[in-house]
Amino acid sequence: MKVLIVDDVQTKIREILKVLSAAGIHEEWVDTAGSVVGAAKLLKENDYGLLVIDLVLPLRLSEEPDKSGGTRLLNEIVRNSSLKRPEHIVGLTVSDEALQEAQPEFSRGLWSIVRYGTDVSEWREALVEKARYLLARESFEQEEVARDTDVLFVCALARPELSQLKVALGNNFEEVSVNGDHTRYFRTSISTQPKDISVTVCSAPSMGLTAAASLTTKACMHFKPKIVVMTGICAGKKGEVALGQCIVASTSWDYGSGKFIGSAEGVQFKANPYQLAIEPAAQSAAEAVLSDQSFLDSLHDSFQGNKPKQRLEGILAPLASGAAVQANSEFFESVAQKQVRKVAGIDMEAFAVSWSAREANEPKPICIIAKSVADFADEEKSDDFQDYCSFTSGSIGFEIAKRLI
Residue 217: enclosing H or E segment and its boundaries? helix 209-223
Round to whole Å and give the CA distance between 54 and 70. 6
Parse the chain into domains and list their residue ranges. Answer: 3-145, 148-402
C-alpha torsion 346→349→351→354, nearest 10 = -130
Nearest one of 281, 255, 278 to 368, comparing CA atoms: 278
Give CA–CA dist 47/73, Å, rounded.
16
CA-to-CA distance for 271 and 320, rounded, in angstroms? 12
| pLDDT in single tens digits along all 405 residues of the chain | 899 999 999 999 999 999 999 999 999 999 999 999 999 999 999 999 999 999 899 999 999 998 888 889 988 998 999 999 998 999 888 888 877 877 777 777 668 888 888 777 888 998 998 888 888 877 665 555 456 899 999 999 999 999 999 999 997 899 988 878 899 999 999 998 888 999 999 999 999 999 999 999 999 999 999 999 999 999 998 888 999 999 999 999 998 776 666 666 666 666 667 889 999 999 999 999 999 999 999 999 999 999 999 999 999 999 999 875 555 556 666 665 566 668 889 999 999 999 999 999 998 999 999 999 999 887 666 788 999 999 999 999 999 999 998
What is the C-alpha to C-alpha distance for residues 69 and 66, in angstroms, rounded to an integer? 5
Fold of 3-145: Rossmann fold (3.40.50)
Neighbours of 240 (CB within 10 A): 18
Q: Which fold has domain 148-402?
A: Rossmann fold (3.40.50)
User: Would 3-145 and 148-402 be classified into the same CATH topology?
Assistant: yes
Residue 339's closest CA among 266, 243, 238, 237?
237
Please, are residues 211 and 359 in contact by the beta-carbon 8 Å criterion?
A: no
Of the candidates 169, 160, 202, 168, the one whose C-alpha atom is nearest the C-alpha of residue 185 is 202
In b/e form, how buried is each residue of 292-316, taking b as 16+ CB within 10 angstroms?
A: eeebbeebbeebeeebbeeebebbb
Q: What is the pTM of this model?
A: 0.65
